[in-house]
Amino acid sequence: MINIILCGGNGTRLWPVSRTLMPKQFVKLFNDNSLFQLTVKRNQDVCKEQFIVSNAEQYFLALDQLEELQCATNKFLLEPVGRNTAPAIALACFALNPEDIVLVSPSDHLIKNQEAYSVVLQEAKRLAQQNNLVTFGITPTFAQTGFGYIEANGNDVLAFHEKPDAKTAKEYVESGNFYWNSGMFCFKAGIFLEELQKFSPEIYQASLDAFKNASKNSIYRIAHKDMANIPEDSIDYAVMEKSERVKVVASNIGWSDLGSFDALDKEFETDENGNTKDKNLLAIDSKNNFVYSSNRLIATVDIDDLIVVDTPDALLLSKKGNSQKIKDIVKQLKGRESTLHHIHLTVHRPWGTYTVLEDGLGYKIKKIVVKPTKRLSLQKHLHRSEHWIVVEGTALVTIGKKEILIKQNESTYIPIDELHRLENPSKVDDVVLIEVQVGEYLGEDDIIRVEDDYKRE
C-alpha cells in the first residue's frame, strides 16, 4: 500500500496552540512527537511508501519532522490553496499507478491500538483489492454529536448520516450498526478516479488539468490558478455518499480526531484531582481542569471544570464542554486584522526560525536562528531598514554587491531598498542573531525576493 497523508487543515478549535502556520498536526503534543509524526510511524511498517499532500506553507514543517524521524522522504504534492479532500486525494492518485492500493490518512488523528489497527488495515486492503472504496467506521464509545455516522450491515454501507442531535446520536449508538465516520479510506487509485469522474466530473477534470500543468521535479507543485479552478468538496460528498462500491471496516482502534480541547483532555494524564499533570501548574482546591502551558506558571484557586491554554501571546479560558466554540474566536480574530490566528511568536521557516521579542510603533525586534548551511532569500524591503547583531556563530551577509562575515558580538546595517541575504556557512552550528527593524511598515509581506533556494513566491 501507499500511504497518502493529508496535511491540510488549520485546527481552529485548538487555537491558540494550533495556528495557520503551525497547525495541530505539527504541534508536538505527545512525548515530543507531533500527530503528523505519529501518523508516519504507525503506517511505516504496513505501507511501502508515503505520499504527503501538504499546503505549500507547511511543506518545510513536514520535511523537518520527517528528518527528525530519520525517515526517507518519498513523494510530496504541494497545494497553494486548499480545496478540501476530494481534489487533494485526486491529485495524488493521478501521480500513481491505477492499480496501486492507497491508504488515505489524515495527519491529525490519534490511534492508540496499533495491533487492532494493523488487523483492520489488512481487512481494508482485502476489500480494496476487490475494487471497492473502503472507509473505516469507528466503533462509537458514546453518543457524539460532532461526527457524521455510517450506517452499515457487516461490510456493506447502508447510508451516510450528517452530524445528529443528541437524541438521534443516542439511538445510533444503541442500535449497534452505526459507526463514526473516521475520514480514513483505502482503495485502488484508479478505482477512486473512476468514481470521481462518474459522480463529480467537474472536480475530476479540473484536478486532471491541474496535475498535467504541475511542476514535477523533485516534488509535485500545483499552480495557484489551476488549484483555484478546482471545485471545493470533500471525498464524502463528491464520491463516497454516491458510489455503489463503498464498503466499511468496523474499527475499534483507540481513535480520536482530537478536534477540540475536550477531546485532547481525555488523552493527557491527570492527577488525583482530575487536573492535567503539568509541571507549570499549581492547583489549590481545583478539580477536573485541562491545563496546557508553554512555560509560565499557572496557578488556580477554587477553579473546576475549566480549559486553560497558555501560549506566549494568547491565553484561552473556556468551560469544559464548550470548546467547540473556539473556532468562533478565530473568525473574530480574522475580522480584526489580527495575526494571532495565523502565526505564533516563533515562526518556522525552511532555513530556521524567528521569534518576535518586541513589536512597537515603528520598530520590531526579532531573534533569528539560521540552521547550518541554510540561507534566507536574496531580498529587499521597501518600508524598513534592519540592524543585525550576531550573538552566536558566524554569519555570511550579502549587502548589495559585497559579502562580509559577521562574528559573535559584531553587527551590520541594511538600508531600505538594499538587496541583502543572510547565510550560515557552518556545517555544524546554528547562527543566532538579533534583528531590529525600523520603518513605517513592518509586515512580513514587505519582502521582495530576487532569489530563493526554496522556490517561494
pLDDT in tens, the chain (457 residues): 999 999 987 788 999 999 988 999 999 999 899 999 999 999 998 999 999 999 988 888 998 899 899 887 678 999 999 999 999 999 999 999 999 999 999 999 999 999 999 999 999 999 999 999 999 999 999 998 889 999 999 999 999 999 999 999 999 999 999 999 999 999 999 999 999 999 999 999 999 999 999 988 779 999 999 999 999 999 999 999 999 999 999 999 999 999 899 999 999 999 999 999 999 999 999 999 999 998 899 999 999 999 999 999 999 999 999 988 999 999 999 888 788 998 899 999 999 999 999 999 999 999 999 999 999 999 999 999 999 999 999 999 999 999 999 999 999 999 999 999 999 999 999 999 999 999 999 998 899 999 999 887 6
**Helix (DSSP H) and strand (DSSP E) numbers for the chain:** 11, 31
For 110, other C-beta atoms within 10 Å of its C-beta total 19
Residue 176 makes CB contacts below 8 A (sequence gap 6+) with none
The fourth-level CATH superfamily of domain 346-451 is: Jelly Rolls (2.60.120.10)
Handedness of CA 270, 275, 281, 282 (dihedral sign): negative
Q: Which residues of 397-412 are buried (b: 16+ CB within 10 A; e: fewer)?
A: bbbeeeeeebeeeeeb
In 343-394, which residue ranges form alpha helices assigned H by DSSP?
none
Q: Which residue has the cell 496552540?
A: 17
The distance in angstroms from the start CA to the end CA of the chain is: 34
pTM of the entire predicted model: 0.89
Q: Give residue limits of the domains in the chain.
A: 2-256, 261-325, 346-451
Q: Do domains 2-256 and 346-451 have the same CATH topology?
A: no
- CATH code that applies to domain 2-256: 3.90.550.10
